[in-house]
Amino acid sequence: MIMLLSGGIDSTVMLYHALDLGNKDILGLFIDYGQRNFTGEHHAVHNICKKLHVTYHHIQVPTAFSYSNSSCLAHGNELYPGTVEELLPEGKFNAFVPNRNMLLISIASGVAMAYGHSEVWCGFIKLRNADVFFDQSPLFIDGISKILSPQGITVKAPLNSLYKEDVIKLGVTYGVDFNDTWTCYSNEERSCRVCSACIARDKSFKVARGEL
């Protein structure tokens, strides 16, 4: 299978999950789409794949979203501190990259066809703010999978019934070292701890540990 990897918690646990299920023919895909946190993500994907002896390809489309000012992009608007719920009413939440996942899945499907793979796996999980990120919903995945099925490709999001805290718990059972992963939207050397991704990560660990 082709596995979209970002170096974050979700796709990393998905990779461990696939290996735990006995899958051996895994090709990781790390896509540079101009994300602000490219260095952190790439470093994480590289180290995780090396540790697990999984090959990954690095695809570069860094100007693909040059029309967007999403704060997730290197050239995008300022990245404000705060949760999605805090930033949305103030009009400061801008971490959504329009139609990003359609592009990522499209590239992954092309790679799958070129290499004779029949599945594309995405690390999309269950969200409490699913309306903000429609392009990782089960409806979206099912729709894309239907479009690609005549070409022999199935798109799967095996963790999409799990909230992030449950993904963390699953990762613990696989012995995932979460220090290997990168979540932060910023391009700082260390995670900023104040962007919406960092706050969600910290909160999910607390919930997973029963502290919240």
CB nearer to Zn ion: give 18 or 197: 197
The residues near 137 (Cβ < 8 Å, ≥ 6 apart) are: 124, 130
26 binds Zn ion, rule: CB under 5 A: no
Q: Find the binder of Zn ion among 45, 184, 200, 208 (CB under 5 A).
A: 184
Stretch that binds Zn ion, among 27-35, 61-69, 100-108, 179-187 (CB under 5 A): 179-187
192 binds Zn ion, rule: CB under 5 A: yes
Tell me the residue type at 197.
A
Instruction: Give the shortest CB-49-to-Zn ion separation in angstroms.
Output: 23
195 binds Zn ion, rule: CB under 5 A: yes
CB nearer to Zn ion: give 16 or 80: 80
3-class DSSP state of 70 = coil
200 binds Zn ion, rule: CB under 5 A: no
Buried b / exposed e along 91-120 (16+ C-beta atoms within 10 A): ebbbbbbeebbebbbebbbebbbeeebebb
Q: Which residues pair with 27 in a beta bridge?
A: 2, 55
CB nearer to Zn ion: give 15 or 198: 198
The residues near 173 (Cβ < 8 Å, ≥ 6 apart) are: none
Size of the site for Zn ion (CB under 5 A): 5
Asked whether 37 and 79 are in contact (CB, 8 A), the reply is no
Beta-sheet strands, E only, within the chain: 2-4, 27-32, 55-60, 119-121, 154-156
For the chain, the straight-line distance linking the first and the last C-alpha, in angstroms and rounded, comes to 36
Closest CA to 185 of 58, 92, 80, 44: 80
Q: Build a one-symbol-per-residue string for 128-167: x at contacts with Zn ion by CB under 5 A, - elsewhere.
A: ----------------------------------------
CB nearer to Zn ion: give 120 or 184: 184
198 binds Zn ion, rule: CB under 5 A: yes
CB nearer to Zn ion: give 68 or 191: 191
CB nearer to Zn ion: give 52 or 192: 192
Stretch that binds Zn ion, among 3-11, 66-74, 85-93, 180-188 (CB under 5 A): 180-188
Stretch that binds Zn ion, among 47-55, 57-65, 81-89, 189-197 (CB under 5 A): 189-197
Q: Which residues pair with 3 in a beta bridge?
A: 28, 121
Closest CA to 37 of 211, 189, 194: 189
Where do contacts with Zn ion occur on this chain (CB under 5 A)?
A: 184, 186, 192, 195, 198
